[in-house]
Structures are given as C-alpha cells and as structure tokens.
Chains A and B, each alone.
Chain A
C-alpha cells in the first residue's frame, strides 16, 4: 500500500458548482484523496457525484473553491465504457497513449501488458460490438491503465453490470489497486460495493451535494470476496446506509 499520509493526490477545498442554468450541483465540498487511498462517494441520484469527478478531471471548471491535483496524469473510467466502436480492443487500449504521442512500438507493448492484466487475452482483435458488458469495462479500464496514472477517477463503472460480473470486477479492481498503488476516487450507488472496495466512504447529501458522512473502512487488503458476509461488513454497511437515508431528506 502506498504511504498514506503523504501529500494528497487530489484535494477539494470548499468546492462549489453552480451550472449556468442555475442548478446548484455542489456546495462547499472539502475532502482529499491521498496516495494509496481508495475513497468512494455514495449519494442519492442526481446529487452531483459525477460533477465531482468532472471537476476533479478538469472537464468541468468549478465555480467556487479550489481543486488541487498533484499529477495531471489522471485515469478516468466512465459509466459507459465509451469505447470507439471502429477500433479493436487493442487499438482502443492504445488510444490515450496515441493521443499523448507515445510511439507505436511502446504503445503496442503497453497495450499488450494491460490486456493481459485485465484478462482480455485472445480478444485483442475483437471489436466492441463483439464484447460483453463486463469485457467492455475491462477494456475501458485497461485503456486508462496504459498511462499508469497516479490517481484514478471511477464514475459508477460497474453500475450497468449484473451482480456476479460486478463482484468479480470489484475483486480484480482491488488487486489492480494493490499492485499499482494509485489513489482512487470512486462513485457508486451501491453501499456494498463502496464498503467492499474502499479505505474511506464519503456520503453525499441530495442536491446541492455536500459531504455529510465520512467512514473509515478498516479492513485490510487483500480483501477476500468472503468479506461481504462478515458481520463487521454488515455493521459498517448499515452505518453508511443510515447516513445515506439521512442524506436523502
């Protein structure tokens, strides 16, 4: 695990977001994500969770407060896999390296490495339409891994997948997290997913979103899939769920 306590990889300082149409999406949110931390944000739909990530990545400019990102090389995994349909798995995974001007041989090498890492071997030449939902997400993940980012933003990446595939991908994501030591800011609807993955769970209120709960998740990594059936896991999930219910009203 990276050295928790180091300078934050990502810091939100009183960040607010009011869209031009007057929608107040975020209200004075302050938190940070440190190297080796896996921070998950749960909150009611439409509470501005995605806005949080868009601001962190620079896609959207905050209207108040300030955001500090330690290293501009940020991995961003969207809700949809957002693969380019006309590119094979391999070429999709090379995309970011290509946009950053990495040379061809190096691109291919990194792509091959990450294809193996997410277990897409044998699918290099397939097109997105030939992949299942889970495989598309793996591809999307590998595409970001190619740049070896120090911080990863995940916007409900597994929300559209079935339970089994989702749990499987959770396990794999954790093993990647351990191996690479990136800082993560993860967004989800699922309390169990949040508790299972994270070192910390933040609870956001309904719009305008604000952090109303902050839970440390003490379980050591590697976490076994069986953790989901432990009483402490249920206890913590219950606390988060309670806070979330409070946040809805």
Chain B
C-alpha cells in the first residue's frame, strides 16, 4: 500500500499518539508480595503460639502452626492422598457448575437485554435467588437431584449465576449511544447488533462476572458438599469430617487447598480475560 496523499503523512504525529505502554516492572512489584506473605505467615505463627492463648485465653491447638499443617497434611502420604483427591472432586464440581452457570446466565442476560419488560420481569427473581439461604432448599434439591454430585453442581450454579447475569446484562446495555446509532443507520437486525456491537462491548464486564462467579462456584462446591455429604469426598466433606474429629492440621490443609483453588480460578480467568480483551480494552489502571 503506497501513500497516495503524502501531504497527510507529516501530521502522523508520533508525539501526538500515546506510546505503547512499556512493560517495566518496579522493584516493589516483587518485594511487596513477599513482604505480604512473610507478614501473613508471621501472623499465623504468632496467633498459633501466643496470640490465641494470651489475647483471648483460648487453647493454642485450635490454630495449627504452618509447618505442622504442611507436615501432617501434605508430607504425610495418607492425608495428602485424601486431600488431593478431595481437591480433584471439588474442582471438578465447581468447573462444571461454573460452565453451566455461564451458559444459563449469559442466555438469561441476552434475553433480558432484548426488552425492558423482560428485564423487569426476570430481575426480581434473580435478586431473590441470590439472597435465599440454600440450606432451606436442601430437602427439595436433594429429593430431585440426589445427595451426591448433581446436587453439588446445582448449588454451584445457584450461587454463581447472579454475577454472570448482572455483569453480562450491564455490559450488553452499556454500548454508547453513538455506537448504536452507527448500527441503526445501517438498519441492522437485532442479531447483528447483538453479535457485532453489544456482546463484544460487554466482554470486559462479562469477564469480571466470570471471575466473581468462579470464586463463588468454588464456595458453592464446598458448601454443596457440606449439605450433600454422599458420594465422592471433596474438600468440603473432608473439612467437615476433620472438623468433627478435631484433626486440626488436616482441616487447615483442606482450607489451604480451598483457598488455592479459589486463587487458581481467579488467575486462570484473569489470564483468559487478558487473552480476549487485553489487546483493546483500556482499563484505568495501566497493568504492567
């Protein structure tokens, strides 16, 4: 392609154009997390060996020191095997639950985005569903889906649905008026408007929704296991049985796995987000 209008070229303002953000990291980007982690472990030891006993006068064994948790949960072969297998089942349930919630949630949001009356008639139930204590639904869910994996998945979907619907809907409805005008001028179908304008415009908020939902789905899987105890033992079932048998080191081990699973899904979705919208989306904070 040759420049047919050379006069135009000299205004091509390299100094007017924003420069590509340099990916330079500051030393604090590395040091701060290390200090944070050190502080956290230090606080843990402090509470285990001194704080709990002297501040609240409670027995210190309620908090197991970090090295003992590692030893008894992850070095010890038997515990490790139980915990890792628990992690597998919980992760599996939460991923399946999340995927179902994504499909249902996005479909609902797209339906709601099409007409105000649809939005107004569906919305109250979603808000209510969010607030309902799942405990009250245990008998009905259990009688329909049984007391094993399907019921746990159901709980995940229930918990993870709301942020997906609300973030997707918000994104779909937030395309600028001027951008809508472009499509109106060309008399496009609803489908074209949805796929070429509203959905791409919504991607950043949709991914925010996915991220929140992913964390909730992990909680849903664990809570679901505590309510529906039959079937394969996930982290939630282990947590509950370690708690009832006062096996505190293993209980904290299970907690660490639950947290790690939450962090893992958070990171995975952050990565997916960067992959899909990172190139074009302008967030207010320049991430390195």
Mark A residues whose CB is within 8 Å of B: 57-59, 74, 76, 78-80, 82, 84-87, 95-96, 98-100, 112, 115-119, 121-122, 127-132, 134-135, 165, 168, 171-172, 175
Contacts and interface: CB of A to CB of B under 8 A. Distances in A.
Contacts of A119: 3, 5, 8-9, 11-12
A167 to B, nearest CB: 10
A119 B11 CA distance: 9
B1 A130 contact: no
A175 B5 contact: yes
Contacts of A59: 181, 184-185
30 contacts: A58-B185, A59-B181, A74-B185, A76-B181, A76-B185, A80-B176, A80-B178, A84-B200, A86-B277, A86-B281, A87-B280, A96-B182, A112-B1, A116-B2, A117-B4, A118-B5, A119-B5, A119-B8, A119-B9, A119-B11, A119-B12, A121-B3, A127-B279, A130-B18, A131-B17, A132-B13, A134-B13, A135-B13, A172-B7, A175-B7
A116 B16 CA distance: 19
A132 B1 contact: no
Nearest to A172: B8
Interface in B1-58: 1-5, 7-9, 11-13, 16-18, 20
A134 B16 contact: yes
B186 interface: yes
Interface string B179-209: 1011111101000100011001101000000
B282 interface: yes
A132 B197 CA distance: 23
Given A59-B181, A85-B280, A132-B16, A116 B1 contact: yes
A163 to B, nearest CB: 13
B175 to A, nearest CB: 9
Contacts, number: 97
B86 to A, nearest CB: 40
A95 B182 contact: yes
B5 A84 contact: no
A59 B280 CA distance: 29
B164 to A, nearest CB: 20
Interface of B: 1-5, 7-9, 11-13, 16-18, 20, 176, 178-179, 181-186, 188, 192, 196-197, 200-201, 203, 277, 279-282
Nearest to B8: A119
Given A59-B184, A84-B179, A118 B280 contact: no
A99 B17 CA distance: 29
B280 A116 contact: no
Contact of A115 (B1, B197, B203): B1
A175 B185 CA distance: 26
Nearest to B9: A119
